[in-house]
């Protein structure tokens, strides 16, 4: 009744339900609960729909959406890695590669290969779509931090220079979004949310 | 520094963060917390990527993804309407239309018009992409109900006939998924999760 192929596809679809339980550091604007990686991925896809015109290079929208929808799936096994935590980046790529093999491997071989290639393309940052997708992925939590009063910056004593470094791919992907980051950084520093240095404890 | 157009687009992107706070009846497979409409929309988009080959009609994948990503945004104002609650369907379309005008209206006029047209297309069910998108939207909570022990069916005394009626668009969009529904319905009835009738209280 249900083919082996469809059965494998449904197994993958059920498995990725777990991405809804992977929590990021970012807080939602209204409830201030922590965001999960599935709803984050939806939000990024919506950003791509609305902001594609601002990409520096011509991007294929479908391809950009695929990259954004699948790029965090590996976190089901590998967990989310906080942007400003250097230690947790150790071994990140190996953990994620192992996760990609297991999770995408639930799919029929042709689709497993396609999904793995998309994930690797995002990581390698060698195509216009990968660069624009990364720009959105960096820009979004920055906006969230600013609009939730810089709580996660303060908790982690993140400085303006760290944020500017972290946000550099935004301008690579989109001059307009890069300029928006620069404007918000100025405001955040002026209002004390994002200082150049934090006082000694 | 930030154009009026980009400023409107960012306002929309910040506003739709609220979809992450709209709770559905469906439970997540692992934690059994209620699913929100943003993570649900991501999951549907992933289903479209994986299952598009099973659509009865040829569908444009990008167009299908757009329909799925935006179709629940109106719930930010209008709320989620439970499938098996006939009363809450009263006035649903008017509530959602008012929501569409306000929320998509945050965007620049050309994008507001595009998003509104996509939402109306989904509701009207007159295109192959709209039919396939609805099939996925019906199929997903059914799978979730089955794999979480039929809790929401039991709580709401939903019968097999109600589910079969609710699932009829699945077969319209995809014979293969319609057959999968039929197989799971049989299993759910056999195991007592989805009876033909519930005993009187």
Question: What digits encode the pLDDT tens for the residues A54-87?
Answer: 999 999 999 999 999 999 999 999 998 887 777 7
**Per-residue pLDDT, B89:** 77
Q: Do A6 and B180 touch (CB under 8 A)?
A: yes
Q: Which of A42, A104, A118 to mutate to test the interface with B (most CBs of B within 10 A)?
A: A42
CA distance B9 to A19: 27
- pLDDT on residue A91: 87
Q: Which of A38, A48, A61 to mutate to test the interface with B (most CBs of B within 10 A)?
A: A38
Helix axes B61-70, B109-124, angle to 10 degrees: 90
Structure tokens at B176: 């293969």
Of the partner residues B9, B143, B177, the one whose CB lies closest to the CB of residue A51 = B9
Residue of B nearest to A186 (CA): B1
Query: What residues of A are in contact with residue B66 (Cβ under 8 Å)?
Result: 49
Which pLDDT score, from 0 to 100, does residue B84 have?
Answer: 79
Query: Which contiguous run of DSSP H or E holds residue A150?
Result: none
Q: Do the Cβ atoms of B29 and A35 come within 8 Å?
A: no
A16 touches B at CB < 8 Å: yes
Closest to A107 in 3D by CA, of A1, A3, A17, A6? A6
B31 reaches A (C-beta below 8 A)? yes
Q: Within a 10 A sphere around the Cβ of A161, how many other Cβ atoms?
A: 11
| Mutation target vs A (from B39, B73, B129, B145; most A CBs, 10 A cutoff) | B39
Contact map slice: B 46-65 vs A, CB within 8 A: 46-47, 49-51, 54, 61-62, 65
> How buried is B165 (Cβ within 10 angstroms: 0-12 exposed, 13-18 middle, 19+ buried)?
exposed
Q: Residue A164: count other Cβ atoms within 10 Å of its Cβ.
A: 13
Would you state the pLDDT for residue A190? 96
Which pLDDT score, from 0 to 100, does residue B189 have? 96
Q: Are strands B23-27 and B34-36 parallel, antiparallel or unpaired?
A: antiparallel
pLDDT at A83: 78
Under DSSP, is residue A32 helix (H, G, I), strand (E, B) or coil? Answer: coil
**How many Å apart are CA B17 and CA A47, to the nearest integer?**
11
Mean pLDDT value across residues A90-95: 88
Q: Taking Cα atoms as reference points, which of A66, A181, A178, A78 lies closest to residue A130?
A: A66
Give the containing element (helix H, strand E) for A34. strand A34-36
Q: What is the pLDDT of residue A185?
A: 97
Q: Name the fold adopted by B4-190.
A: Hypothetical protein af1432 (1.10.3210)
In tens digits, what is the pLDDT along chain B, a chain of 201 residues?
789 999 999 999 999 999 999 999 999 998 999 999 999 999 999 999 999 999 999 999 999 999 999 999 999 999 988 877 777 777 888 999 999 999 999 999 999 999 999 999 999 999 999 999 999 999 999 999 999 999 999 999 999 999 999 999 999 999 999 999 999 999 999 999 999 999 987
Place A139 in a pLDDT band, splitting at 50, 70 and 90. very high
DSSP A130: H
Dist CA B70 CA A158 (whole Å): 34
pTM of the entire structure? 0.96
Tens of pLDDT along A13-40?
999 999 999 999 999 998 999 999 999 9
pLDDT of A186 over the 90 cut: yes
- Chain B residues with CB under 8 Å of A50 CB are 9, 12-13, 107, 111
Q: What is the pLDDT of residue A89?
A: 77
What does the pLDDT read at residue B80?
A: 84
Query: Helix A175-190 to helix B4-15 angle, to the nearest 10 degrees?
Result: 70
Q: Distance between CA A84 and CA A173 in Å, rounded?
A: 21
């Amino acid at each position: 009744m249900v083919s082996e192929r469809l059965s494998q596809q449904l197994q993958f679809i059920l498995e990725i339900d777990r991405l809804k339980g992977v929590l990021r550091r970012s807080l939602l604007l209204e409830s201030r609960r922590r965001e999960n990686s599935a709803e984050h991925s939806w939000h990024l896809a919506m950003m791509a729909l609305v902001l594609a015109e601002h990409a520096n290079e011509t991007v294929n929208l479908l391809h950009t959406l695929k990259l954004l929808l699948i790029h965090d799936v590996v976190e089901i096994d590998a967990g989310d890695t906080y942007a400003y935590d250097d230690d947790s980046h150790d071994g990140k790529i190996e953990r994620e590669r192992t996760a990609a093999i297991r999770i995408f491997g639930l799919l029929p071989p042709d689709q497993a290969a396609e999904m793995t290639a998309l994930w690797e393309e995002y990581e390698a940052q060698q195509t216009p779509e990968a660069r624009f997708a990364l720009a959105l992925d960096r820009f979004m939590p920055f906006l969230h931090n600013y609009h939730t009063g810089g709580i996660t910056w303060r908790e982690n004593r993140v400085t303006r220079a760290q944020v500017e470094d972290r946000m550099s791919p935004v301008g690579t992907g989109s001059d307009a979004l890069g300029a928006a980051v620069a404007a918000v950084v100025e405001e955040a520093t002026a209002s004390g949310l994002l200082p150049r240095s934090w006082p000694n404890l």
